[in-house]
Homo-oligomer: A and B are copies of this chain.
């Protein structure tokens, strides 16, 4: 990289800067061909493994991106709230699982939605199961199992709780018990691809044990196993020991996924274009419009064992190219400010008024927090 500033430096795309001419605030930039390749690859792996592909839409949360999935043959989806289920039902999706523990206070909306589409809900207690008594339209019911992540779900080896949930569901013949479901989010912190494969196998076997308890308690056979994390779904060669996969982040990927080995740099399909508003050579830093309400405070491994909240990319005709981490990374954010630490040669090429293209540490929050979307 040349040390001297250049009037047509690479922070503007040489093949078409006019595409970005109107960007005057933090804006999502999605590389559609990368996203479509990510979708096609995951859908093909599910088909080859003989499992249902029910991608999680919480990452992109956009009707427009949903259509890319539909074009790739997707018909069943996952969302994380009743509100999002309503949005995608309105966009024509008719088989939706809300993979978030049942919000019993939202039952009026759930009841109305279940009369329109095939709706799946998730629960892990007899109390939540009992709350479904008054829902007339049939629901698909999944039991949330904690296979080691420690967030929600009945512990996989808590047979008493699983049996109690099953007993309660047995009193609700109107609803369809579908099986057991988990999110093994511990893969996000796995030290290696082998460790991720190990978590996959452990999760599948723990869910099988939980499914068998539930099967025994309800007398129902054919119960399924549904899993969902992007690292697991990206790393394993085949989806063994499960019936359904629900990854979400893979449509865009990000620095966290790169760090755990889920993706390559060329598979990352989302950047945030942030106007540069200050350059400070004496500090080796620049400031962009793009803070915690746009980039979030999620972090990925940074230089020297530290953390970063995003990394600088340069844009060219083929899309963007991630720079080495010490060339430019977001060292901190406040509500609307992002502070970029840069190498001297990169900093010398940044101008107030240019756009900085930042690959976020974790794609899900920026994709949900930023309204403006530019598809390239």
What residues of chain A have their CB less than 8 Å away from a CB belonging to chain B?
A: 23-25, 58, 80-83, 100-106, 108-109, 124-125, 127-128, 131, 144, 150-153, 155, 158, 185, 275, 277-280, 282-283, 287, 289, 292-293, 296-298, 334-337, 339, 351-353, 355, 364-365, 368-369
Closest 10 CB pairs of A and B: A101-B277, A297-B297, A24-B106, A104-B353, A24-B105, A152-B287, A152-B278, A80-B336, A103-B275, A127-B352
Complex Cα spacing A296 to B295, Å: 11
Closest residue of chain B to A351 (Cβ to Cβ) is B127
Contact A277 B100 (CB under 8 A): yes
Contact A24 B103 (CB under 8 A): yes
Jot down 26 A-B pairs with beta carbons below 8 A, ordered by A: A24-B105, A25-B81, A58-B335, A80-B336, A81-B336, A100-B336, A102-B352, A103-B277, A104-B275, A104-B277, A105-B353, A105-B355, A106-B275, A125-B278, A125-B279, A127-B353, A131-B353, A150-B283, A152-B287, A155-B282, A292-B296, A292-B297, A293-B365, A296-B297, A335-B365, A335-B368
Complex Cα spacing A369 to B355, Å: 24
Contacts A105-B353, A289-B103, A351-B127; is A82 near B279 (CB within 8 Å)? no
**Chain B residues whose C-beta falls within 8 Å of the C-beta of A105 in the assembled complex:** 23-24, 275, 353, 355
Complex Cα spacing A299 to B102, Å: 27
Complex Cα spacing A83 to B351, Å: 23
**Chain B residues whose C-beta falls within 8 Å of the C-beta of A280 in the assembled complex:** 155
Q: How far is the CB of A264 from chain B (nearest CB, A)?
A: 24
Closest residue of chain B to A297 (Cβ to Cβ) is B297
**Chain B residues whose C-beta falls within 8 Å of the C-beta of A275 in the assembled complex:** 103-106
Complex Cα spacing A279 to B144, Å: 13
Complex Cα spacing A297 to B333, Å: 12
Known: A292-B296, A335-B364. 14 other contacts (CB 8 A): A24-B105, A25-B103, A58-B335, A100-B336, A101-B278, A105-B355, A125-B279, A127-B351, A131-B352, A151-B337, A152-B287, A158-B282, A185-B334, A292-B365
Complex Cα spacing A292 to B369, Å: 11
**Chain B residues whose C-beta falls within 8 Å of the C-beta of A335 in the assembled complex:** 58, 80, 364-365, 368
Complex Cα spacing A127 to B337, Å: 19
Complex Cα spacing A158 to B278, Å: 15
**Chain B residues whose C-beta falls within 8 Å of the C-beta of A334 in the assembled complex:** 151, 185
Complex Cα spacing A104 to B23, Å: 11
Closest residue of chain B to A125 (Cβ to Cβ) is B352
**Chain B residues whose C-beta falls within 8 Å of the C-beta of A289 in the assembled complex:** 81, 100-101, 103
Contact A368 B293 (CB under 8 A): yes
Q: How far is the CB of A209 from chain B (nearest CB, A)?
A: 17
Closest residue of chain B to A81 (Cβ to Cβ) is B336
Complex Cα spacing A136 to B23, Å: 22
Complex Cα spacing A42 to B33, Å: 53
